[in-house]
Amino acid sequence: MTLQPNTIEDQLIEELCRYIDQDRAPSQFEVARLKREATKLKNGNIAAYSGIMGMIACLDNDVTECKRHHELAIRLDGSVEHYDSYCTSLYNLGLIQDTYQWAKKGLSLFPHAPKLILSAVKSAYFLGLFDKVVEHYQALIPLQLAGVVEQVEGFVQNAEIVLSLGIPEPSLHKLSDILESIRLKHGADIKTINLSLVPTEETQELFNWIETTSNVDTTVEMNMELCEMLASQPDIDLSYMTVAFRACQY
């Protein structure tokens, strides 16, 4: 029996999502097979075909093709699903700023889309845009979706700790640009952000450790660049927060 195009689409999406959920890259043989299956959709729903090809390109670590296919899918069919899948692909490629920008574009059209809100919260958090983390989280609460709010509660709690220091938003945003430029320059992926509050005589000092996939030598270089860039912008006020990259401990 010949599979109908929508069945092929569902099966491909299910298979691609398994790779993403398992954080597993397909072999070149598997990529070729996925592309062959996807071509069966080409004469039907071009938007669906393009979206799936974008996901395959993401798994194949092909940024150019990933962007080209996903953005074509959105131009052809600007559904929330295409915005969701593009944000997922961008995030898995380590393109956190792009993820955040496309999540915002999607939310301008679909303000109550939970997956887009989650993408916005998560990407804003790893960009260090802690004010935006709280802002997007507020849009999630009224939806009252079981299990969804819990996915980002830790991000929000950490964001509120940083914001409690009274750091000006422009300083947070400038710091975000600096950190992201250094991270991308060295091809590092963020694994986690660890916050440590240390009591002092007058108040508490916050250490913001950005743990990445970089080795120790590269991490030292990244921190030297960070110090130089912060020193060149004296208008950045980080209050009682110290920020540094750290090689991931696990």
Length of the chain, in residues:
250
Query: pLDDT category, 6, cuts 50, 70, 90?
Result: low
- C-alpha dihedral (77, 112, 193, 58), degrees to nearest 10: -10
The answer to whether 136 and 148 are in contact (CB under 8 A) is: no
- Residue 231: CB partners within 8 Å, gap ≥ 6? none
Residue 100 is encoded by which pair of tokens? 């955040």
Q: Please determine, for residue 195, whether its predicted confidence score (pLDDT) is greater than 60.
A: yes
- Higher local confidence (pLDDT), 99 or 30: 99
- Higher local confidence (pLDDT), 100 or 19: 100
The answer to whether 109 and 124 are in contact (CB under 8 A) is: no
Q: Report which secondary-structure segment, H or E, holds 13.
A: helix 5-21
Q: Please determine, for residue 161, whether its predicted confidence score (pLDDT) is greater than 50.
A: yes
CA 28 from chain center: how many Å? 25
The mean per-residue pLDDT over the stretch 108-128 comes to 97
- Of 147-151, 179-183, 213-217, 236-240, where does mean pLDDT reach its minimum? 147-151
The answer to whether 179 and 226 are in contact (CB under 8 A) is: yes
The CATH superfamily holding the domain 5-156 is Tetratricopeptide repeat domain (1.25.40.10)
Within 77-152, residue ranges assigned H as helices are 80-92, 96-109, 114-127, 130-140
- Give the pLDDT of residue 231: 95
Q: Please determine, for residue 250, whether its predicted confidence score (pLDDT) is greater than 80.
A: no
- Give the pLDDT of residue 39: 86
The answer to whether 210 and 175 are in contact (CB under 8 A) is: no
**pTM attached to this predicted model:** 0.90
- Domain residue spans of the chain: 5-156, 169-247
Q: Report which secondary-structure segment, H or E, holds 243.
A: strand 241-247
CB-facing half-sphere around the CA of 113: CA atoms within 13 A: 21
What is the average pLDDT value for the chain, to the nearest integer?
A: 91
The 8-class DSSP code of residue 185 comes to H
Q: How many CB atoms lie within 10 A of CB 129?
A: 22
- Residue 72: CB partners within 8 Å, gap ≥ 6? 46, 47, 50
8: buried, middle or exposed (CB in 10 Å: 19+, 13-18, 0-12)? buried
Q: Please determine, for residue 2, whether its predicted confidence score (pLDDT) is greater than 70.
A: no
Q: Please determine, for residue 201, whether its predicted confidence score (pLDDT) is greater than 80.
A: no
CA 71 from chain center: how many Å? 17
The answer to whether 201 and 154 are in contact (CB under 8 A) is: no
- Give the pLDDT of residue 88: 95
User: What's domain 169-247's architecture?
Assistant: 2-Layer Sandwich (3.30)
The mean per-residue pLDDT over the stretch 121-136 comes to 97
5-156 and 169-247 share one fold:
no
- Give the pLDDT of residue 99: 98
The mean per-residue pLDDT over the stretch 20-45 comes to 86
The 8-class DSSP code of residue 209 comes to E
Q: Please determine, for residue 5, whether its predicted confidence score (pLDDT) is greater than 60.
A: no
